[in-house]
Structure 1
Amino acid sequence: MNRLSIIIPAKNEGAALVALLPRLRELHPDAEILVMDDGSTDDTRNVCAGAGVICVSAPYSMGNGAAIKRGARAATGEILVFMDGDGQHDPADIARLVARLEEGYDMIVGARSWESQAGVGRGLANTLYNWLASQMTGQVVADLTSGFRVVLAHRFREFIHLLPNGFSYPTTSTMAFFRSAYGVAYEPIKAAERVGKSHIKPLKDGIRFLLIIFKIATLYSPLKLFMPVSFLFFLLGFANYAYTFFDYGRLTNGSTLMWSAGVIVFLIGLVSEQITALTYRHTD
């Protein structure tokens, strides 16, 4: 049987870890449990020591994604389990997610229901991300941003260099798996209300999540993003030409600039597509 490594990124989550760690140890006594302390200033280290759990501390906060990367490197198990340390994810769901790997998948993601979303705004944003990712991949993406996932360790480590240090590691890893034709499945879960205060800042992270939309496209197939934009510039150029031709009987600089922009955007997309292909090239 493959050994589990349960990786928990945590920043000042001591209050939630008090209940989470003993339950994890009870349900998975043979698993390796790693709490990746992201520069916590609370009693996270003491809680881990009391529960007999490995705590790997960073000297300062590097971000949720950075904690995930450090955990993936330190883990010794063949199967990695990523879950939040704020009490939202139920340890009892781990066995159900791991079991799905036996169906031939490389990664199983815990898909939250609408009731489990942290507010209407977050729910609407996640719905938009899921729709866009589904359009890009041609597959049903039930929860693009879920941090509760089970994955084969050797597959996940192929993409560590792509993962950001911030909160969008779930998006990046999911799109990387789809791009590389690795099997991804979704298992319904119910997320509880987090313990303590969220680390997400609405204004700052709202802008960051907006950038995720563009990142989704560029991670999977840049031409699917650049081609429509290029085509739009060409249409605007022709529309402007038709207007100026009938009004002034000549071609204006505006149309020429729009057509030029269309060509430039298309070429940027073409180069991006080649760079993306090189990024996902296997060396093993």
Structure 2
Amino acid sequence: MISVVIPAYNERENIPILYEKLTKVLDGDYEIIFVDDGSKDGTFEVLKDIAQKDKQVKVIRFKRNYGQTAAMYAGFQHARGDVIITMDADLQNDPEDIPLLLKKLEEGYDLVSGWRKDRKDPFLSRKLPSVIANWIISKVTGVYLHDYGCTLKAYRSELLKELELYGDMHRFLPALTKRQGAKIAEIVVRHHPRLYGRSKYGIGRTVRVILDILLVKFLNEYINKPMYVFGFVGFVFLSVGLLALAYLLFVKLFLEESIGGRPLLILSALSILAGIQLISTGIIAELLVRIYYRSKEDKPYIIDQKINL
């Protein structure tokens, strides 16, 4: 069975066209899960009308706008398919590329990511920041893709069922699945100009992307051993502080020089305190990791209504 998960936020004009295109491409056992992320333009009413006529269409409606990550996470949690396809609701992703993703998945891959090689977006505000972000993400995570931002992807569902997504982590799903040993491929897909509505993204998200990259690096490499990060840095600070203090003691005791007014004394004290705090943070982080693995009940969204689910 195939599940198509589509987050939608204020896409009333695009939904009927997208639904029609999907039904022409999909056949057999499938479901289409639309997640209305708190739309205010009548998107839910359009989705509700479609779902009442087609039981293969499922609709989840959030009480408010939680963001694309929460919408995709809700879709993953309710999907019943062995394969999950994700795509945007703005018609810029092409449903006709879905068979290409599935064909590549059949070659033994666990995740197939789309690459919008001929992207129909403004260069300075969208394409250039995306190129830079994709290069940085690939270097930091070790998962080399041309287009992390392309929502059109195909996943084996077992990869997604164990993931917990928060913040804006949806764009890092290929890197997050690396922890599970996923085999990842990338294929060129089509990209169309937006016909209706306006983009929900801009250059202002760059800072958030950079911070998320650091978080993904931590989750991939150190989530099970946070002490290695905080403890190592803390040990460096503590060692530098103690060495500086030892030098000052040598100057005071053997050279009989005054050290009270030296900036090095203050720096050594601050370095020692920073080291102790970082090591303590590492210990606390280790305890939090153990709590994290024992309690996984909360979800980062509240559902208002469900249809056909």
Correspondence for 2:270:
257
User: Cα 1:277–1:188, aligned 2, differ >3 Å: closer, same or farther?
Assistant: farther
Correspondence for 1:40:
39
| TM-score of the aligned structures, taking structure 2 as reference length | 0.71
Q: CA deviation at 1:129?
A: 3.2
Q: CA deviation at 1:232?
A: 8.7
Further displaced range: 79-88 or 184-193: 184-193
Q: CA deviation at 1:201?
A: 5.7
User: Cα 1:187–1:230, aligned 2, differ >3 Å: closer, same or farther?
Assistant: farther
Correspondence for 1:21:
19
Q: Deviations over 1:237-282 (max 9, x none)?
A: 79x99xx99xx9875321453465357547756875896699689x
Candidates 113, 117, 124, aligned match of 1:120: 124
Q: Deviations over 1:143-176 (max 9, x none)?
A: 23332211111221110xx201x543221x3232
Instruction: Kindly provide the amino acid, as one letter, of the partner of residue 198 in structure 2.
Output: K
Alignment pair present for 1:86 and 2:90:
yes
Correspondence for 1:211:
211
Cα distance in structure 2, aligned partners of 1:273 and 1:117: 43
Question: Cα RMSD over matched residues?
Answer: 3.8
Higher alpha-carbon Rg: 2
Structure 1 regions of 5+ residues with no counterpart?
none
Correspondence for 1:96:
100
Q: Deviations over 1:31-88 (max 9, x none)?
A: 2112111222333244333473333322332322222122122222111111010111
Candidates 156, 162, 165, aligned match of 1:163: 165
Alignment pair present for 1:67 and 2:71:
yes
User: Cα 1:267–1:34, aligned 2, differ >3 Å: closer, same or farther?
Assistant: same
SS at match of 1:14: coil
Structure 2 regions of 5+ residues with no counterpart?
252-257, 295-309
1:175–1:219 Cα contact (<8 Å) kept: no
Cα distance in structure 1, aligned partners of 2:129 and 2:233: 22
User: Cα 1:278–1:20, aligned 2, differ >3 Å: closer, same or farther?
Assistant: same
User: Cα 1:157–1:111, aligned 2, differ >3 Å: closer, same or farther?
Assistant: same
- Within 5 Å, which residues of 2 pair with 1:193-204? 193-194=193-194, 195-200=196-201, 202-203=203-204
Higher RCO, 1 vs 2 (CA within 8 Å, ≥6 residues apart): 2
Further displaced range: 81-90 or 130-139: 130-139
User: Cα 1:143–1:276, aligned 2, differ >3 Å: closer, same or farther?
Assistant: farther
2:5–2:86 Cα contact (<8 Å) kept: yes
Fraction of identical pairs, as percent: 28
Cα distance in structure 2, aligned partners of 1:142 and 1:68: 21
How many residues are aligned here?
275
1:37–1:58 Cα contact (<8 Å) kept: yes
Further displaced range: 120-129 or 149-158: 120-129
Q: CA deviation at 1:4?
A: 0.8
| TM-score of the aligned structures, taking structure 1 as reference length | 0.77
Instruction: Kindly provide the amino acid, as one letter, of the partner of residue 274 in structure 2.
Output: A
Cα distance in structure 1, aligned partners of 2:162 and 2:293: 9
Instruction: Kindly provide the amino acid, as one letter, of the partner of residue 197 in structure 2.
Output: G
SS at match of 1:186: strand
Instruction: Kindly provide the amino acid, as one letter, of the partner of residue 124 in structure 2.
Output: V
User: Cα 1:230–1:139, aligned 2, differ >3 Å: closer, same or farther?
Assistant: farther
1:136–1:220 Cα contact (<8 Å) kept: no
SS at match of 1:19: helix
Cα distance in structure 2, aligned partners of 1:174 and 1:114: 21
